[in-house]
Structure 1
Amino acid sequence: MTALSFKNRKLYLLSSIRRINLTNNNTTRCRTSPAPTLVFFTKGDVKLSTNDNLWFAEPLQLYYFPSGMHVEASIQSEEVDYYMLIIKPLTISRSNKQWFSDLSADAPSMLTAGRISLRDTEQALLRFERLYEASRNSSDTGHLDLQLQEMLHFIEGQSLVQENTQPSDNGIELSIAYMQRHFHEKISRETLASIANLTPSSYCRSFKKAKGLAPTDYLNQIRIEQAKKQLASGHSIKEVAESVGYGNEYYLSRIFKKIAGIPPTLYVKRNCLRVAAASRFGFHDNLNSVGVRPVAMVDCYRHPGLQEADYERRLKTQLEELKIARPDLIIGDYSHLEHYEAFKRIAPTFILDFNLDWRVPHMKVAELVGREKEAQQTFNQLDKKITEARTRLDASANNKSVALLQIMHDHVMLQGTVNHPLNQLLYTELGLKPDKAAPINKMRLELFPQDVPKLTADHLWIRMYMDHTEVDQTFAKIRKLDFWNSIPAVQHNKIRFISNWLIMSWTPQGRNKIIDEVIELVAPDATSG
């Protein structure tokens, strides 16, 4: 009797998942995929090329490279961070009531080489994060393989939604590759549209939808980045203008200042500028952390509760301080945009755009003063400290929850877990457990005292907005709430008044201090270890 035999049952197991961080050292990295590989980018820009295709990878993009594919990667930003997931495909067969498995080169059928467009990139990031953390903390390979299957099903459901947009996306990327090769030449919209196989008007619409910029603005950014490199190498502004495709120094200066924030005449001597900081977020600390001592530090933001007359006097005094300091450059945060014209009469001024990622303004400040390497060193040192702190907290916190309240004149702010550098530090980087009442998907809740939800935190951290009678009265109302005395933090004397962590979390120095204070509050025994 012939034995029953059947094949072609596919099983996909997790070979490995790594999180990789690289900095731009002007080298091209080459790699041949050892097995079917998924790469999910979380930070930075990378040019990826194979024999047949070219892609420009950005954060929250997913790529698939089958076994044996040769890939060249060139980092286009200061830093890149990504997850690399290697799949172990097996062919399962059964013969004579026995199961056999063999390694297979086949990958899941829904994966095609190159970029996989996803509808919900945030959910994709969450799945990569969970699988990565599980791989570090669990030895249960069966559980990891199940998580991989769930991820593949998710990708299959998501990628079909936008599958038909891939050819247009690739055309846009090809046009960008042309910009990067021919930035020093005159490039027409018609030429770029032809490369993308689109009409000029359709090309401009598609490009802006894909990149958030018009093609001309994108090309200007490429040219200015090249101009920066050449200026740093000692070339004259006139030479650079001709080299990067601008006809004269005036045009280069206008575009350069628009994109870089300062004119090229200041950029070439940015390492020795007299710099003033105008910020409510501690830009003077950002400067100090990269080795630049500001000649003046002002905060012209009108804080709540400050009377008009008092504010005008304070503003006049601070503007006078800037004049006396005679800076070559004023760096301001977005809360000082209304004072741009007044600042500009004192010195060239650059106002940074708002960004919830504190690293973005920090790196921009560093770039304006020629200290990018120092800023990266600061990031590396802080990341190391966070890793060490989290290890201590994981060992000592015992799943204790925390809540953070800011007491204002007539209301209360209960911090959430996202959309603020402090929330990111406490709940994502340090891994603290938020109170059940804390909003999971919001920066914070603003509440009247009587509307504060029932807290169950083991640690309650309170920031009093200022030393003012009305602030004290608001806090007194909270302490009269029915549930107040039932809060574990109240019962075990774990209420602590903190300094302004919300502002401190925007600078490296501030984040270092917050980490030290958190360890002292949550895991005091760990400080000696």
Structure 2
Amino acid sequence: MSDYVLCYVAEGSGEITVNAKKHVLEAGKLIMLTPAMHVDELVFHAGPVHIYRLQYARTGALGAVTSTGRDEEVALHTEQPHPAEQWTGAEVFPVSSAVSFAAKLEELFRLGQEAEEDCVSYLRAQALFCDLLATACEEQKARQQGGDTSVAATIDYMKKHFREALDLGALPKLAGLTPSSYCRAFKRAVGMTPGEYLTQLRMDEAKAMLCESSSANRVKDVARSVGFSDELYFSRLFKKREGLSPQIYMKQAGQRVAVASKLFLQDHFLAIGIQPIAAPSFPNYFSTRTGFPIYLQQRLRGTKALNAEQSITPQDILSLSPDVIVQIDTGAEKEQRQWAKLGEAVIFNGYLKWYEYQLQLATVFNKESQAERVIHHVDKVEKQAKDALLPVTRKGHWTIVRVLEDEVRLYGTEGHALTDLFYYKLGFQPDPRVTHASYKPDALLTLLELDPERIILFWSEKEHVERLWHNPLWRSLRAVREKQVYYPETRDWDPWGPLGREYMIHNCMSYFLKAIPSI
């Protein structure tokens, strides 16, 4: 190595040998290399691989961040001392906030492509680079100091060995904790007991295998592959968790479902065990390679991305030979006619609540029991988050605002999935003077009249927010003057589906409970 290199494995598995020492690679792991280290061997297992490589120099020299499968390179500079100079070997360890870390790498790649011609993008790329490097060093330092990382080490161990006859009783010793302390720390880290987590790992792998090929994967073979020696016990446990036997699940998973709606119904399908063969994407909005949000990127591996920023037509889908095409009635008569005449099309009306979509889809695909479990799980996550957020939500009143290029939207207290989650499920107190439904467009003057105590900005681009910050009317607001405007990264926050809703809740908790300063 001639430069410093940070690699993040987003997908795939394998081994890397550095200075004669072998390390296991898998999704979610970070590799930190310093100059003069020698990579002896890099081997990947069968299947797709996606790795981010962030290459940089300590003083003045150009570096490059690349992503496998792309030709572009992004130049970076750093003149700060590197905290890893004392390391004698490669550092390979899991990142605790893997989804957030990958999202930042995608954003860095996007900014870097613009950096040569745009000074603002260059500076933002530099700031994001420093943030990523600081996160990596914090993770590495935490591992050296122990603490919660001892539990993380056992989680990593379970991910590697769940297919084997794993002895859960040995995990506390591996973590250096008493059994009772370990169980408490484990449940605090992942929200379930070690036994429940092991079962989830095995069941997730089993469902993936059952979906891949009904002819190649017999139930007995799948059970043994994921760590169950007793096929009958595996089948009983699978039916208890999923609501149907492995044989029926395998048969239903073989349905070729395409989502033609611009709504992210793929979220609902994935939650009940159906991976669509095609689904809408927004490549100019989301920073991922596919245009899917970051929390669906890996789950939708193999799903064709349909550019929903343009009109999705039957021709985009029919070549895939779908069994079912799912569409939402948009009210556009001409558009609906082209779908209605297709025998494979199933057209739904629009609904106000996320779980109404979930229940309707489940009814059509005979997945009612799975949908009920999904709804119950999300309800549990919402209640736990509400309790955890009490130190934040019990103080003051909140107003939700979205800043667009040419308007400021003021969200109401009902009639929208965002406000339902933020106010009623998570417990943030709305400004009592805000009583309208959905949102009001062009609402800057209304905001001036309200002069709210606290403002949270959702789905607002940085350039639009920065432009608004120069407006003297905006700067006159009490929340702005008292630095009570909160601006989390909400691009991938989606309250309309179960997976997006859970992702949004965890990120919302992380943002507020870490007491990130307001802007």
TM-score for both structures, normalised by structure 1: 0.40
Greater Cα radius of gyration, structure 1 or 2: 1
| Higher-strand-fraction structure | 1
TM value normalised by structure 2: 0.41
